[in-house]
Chain A
Amino acid sequence: MAQYLPIIYAVLALGGLGILFGIVLGLADKKFAVEVDERVSAVRAAVAGANCGACGYAGCDAYAAAVVRGDAKANACTPGGAKTVKAIAAIMGVSAEALEPMVARVRCQGTCERVTTRYEYSGVPSCRAVSGIAGGPNACEFGCVGYGECLSVCAFGAISMVDGIAVIDDDVCTGCGMCVDICPRNIIAMLPKDQTVVVMCRNEATGKRAVLQCKTACVGCKRCEKACDSESIKVVKGVAVIDETTCTRCGACIPVCPMHCIVNFYERNMEDVALVTAQAELNDIEIP
């Protein structure tokens, strides 16, 4: 028995010290308890809790605190999805309708047959590499180059390449924004899911030059500006841009666009668009 005494002493001594410090810490915790807004812990419980940082804050705790402070929107937790948005909206007393989730949208329709090709590229199959070489093989220096860099960073498999253009599946997209960051052409944007009217072009060239580059390029004719009642669509640097905060989604700009680059995202039919575009070209559309 005697030979075990040092071990027993060691266990008792360290265990005793541990328990003693534990009790002291427990008392200190009571004494120094910080009153936390109970909504913070409620929001913290409602979010996905992955500490992914997709909301732009350093972890779920920081995001929950920011929501309660009023600095962050309730719909920033993308992994949590609609359920989380509703839960946070209920806690914070805001309506869930105003919290439409964001999705990534590819704003380009320059498929292989519509865009003019300047040279054959056979190097590294990377959007960023090809964009750096004489503006890319496509005549349009603003559109999708089609090497699918966005596809490779999408953790959810929401992106596919169709006819040389990235296409994002709205139902699968979680709005994490990885593709927005990787796209060297800046043609993928985060837009509210209910923003049905989208300008599907980023081409800053105007008039004939734009048409020569791509058959569905925005020519900057400003017809959409005149058709818009809420002054939400403006031609900036030769390309129409919709302000989605004031846009009423009425779609008045869609039929007036001679190049058919403004579309209703859910009703567009790629073949129709191509047909009408070709027709407009034959009719020698007015180009300022």
Chain B
Amino acid sequence: MNPIVKILLFMFSCVLTNNYIFSRFLGCCPFLGVSNKVETAFGMGIAVTFVMALASLFTYFVYYYVLIPLNLAYLNTIAFILVIASLVQVVEMFLKKSAPSLYGALGIYLPLITTNCAVLGVTILNITEGYNLLYSVLNGTFGALGFLLAIVLMAGVRERLETAKIAPALKGFPISLVIAGLMSIAFLGFSNMFAGVM
């Protein structure tokens, strides 16, 4: 198959079929925590995208040029967490300087990107799936864009829920979980989309 087509297909599958939230169920904490407003959800998605893309890049080098030569592959989790935590710190400083309102809106969820399992999940999956540098970075970037898509869609739904008539028992968090489940089922429809061509 044409390598460019293959890369395009890989990118789409990262966003839709292998969506980190809806099919792998990673990163559910910020997905539910910061999806109250589309604006902050978008900011969170962009911050996660930045962290995930760079984490994929750096962990690739850390893994293949530091850990493998020293026979320390078993330390990948702790080394990757180190990389991710540093990246999140940089993002935090950057946002504090350039977008204080977004910094304030993200609040506690910003440092919590460190513990966003989707970020660690991407870096570990890159290793277990044996992706090369290009595919690792693509997986990180487009996996995060899938996260961005999911969280913005969720925020859009939740903004409308504010004015909707909902049974008191379901108000707030319960209805959000129900919606997350329905969205997950909807995304299941993408699951065999590229099966024939890949």
Contacts and interface: CB of A to CB of B under 8 A. Distances in A.
29 contacts: A6-B70, A6-B71, A9-B72, A10-B72, A10-B75, A13-B67, A13-B72, A13-B75, A13-B79, A14-B78, A14-B79, A17-B62, A17-B66, A17-B79, A17-B82, A17-B83, A21-B82, A24-B86, A24-B90, A25-B89, A25-B90, A28-B93, A29-B93, A32-B93, A32-B96, A32-B97, A33-B97, A34-B96, A34-B100
Contacts, number: 46
Contact of A28 (B72, B75, B90): B90
A125 interface: no
B173 interface: no
A15 to B, nearest CB: 10
B83 A21 contact: yes
A49 interface: no
Q: Is the interface of B mostly helix, strand, loop or mixed?
A: helix
A56 interface: no
Interface string A33-57: 1100000000000000000000000
B93 A13 contact: no
Given A13-B67, A28-B90, A6 B83 contact: no
Interface string B52-91: 0000000000100011001110010011001100100110
Given A6-B72, A32-B97, A13 B66 contact: yes
Contacts of A14: 75, 78-79, 82
A33 B97 CA distance: 7
B94 interface: yes
A237 B72 CA distance: 78
A157 interface: no
Interface of B: 62, 66-67, 70-72, 75, 78-79, 82-83, 86, 89-90, 93-94, 96-97, 100
A18 interface: yes
Which 5 residue pairs spanning A and B have beta carbons closest together?
A21-B86, A32-B93, A32-B97, A9-B70, A28-B90
A28 B97 CA distance: 11
A9 B67 CA distance: 9
Interface residues of A, number: 15
A65 to B, nearest CB: 11
Interface string A211-255: 000000000000000000000000000000000000000000000
B142 to A, nearest CB: 26
Interface of A: 6, 9-10, 13-14, 17-18, 21, 24-25, 28-29, 32-34
Contacts of B67: 13
A24 B88 CA distance: 12
Contacts of A21: 82-83, 86
Nearest to A20: B86
Contacts of B89: 25, 28
Contacts of A24: 86, 90
B71 to A, nearest CB: 6
A199 to B, nearest CB: 41
B61 to A, nearest CB: 11
Contacts of B79: 13-14, 17
Contacts of A6: 70-72
Nearest to A27: B90
B88 to A, nearest CB: 10
A32 B94 contact: yes
Nearest to B86: A21
A203 to B, nearest CB: 37
Nearest to B75: A10
A160 to B, nearest CB: 41
B77 to A, nearest CB: 11
A59 to B, nearest CB: 12
A118 to B, nearest CB: 37
Contact of A9 (B62, B71, B78): B71
A99 B98 CA distance: 37
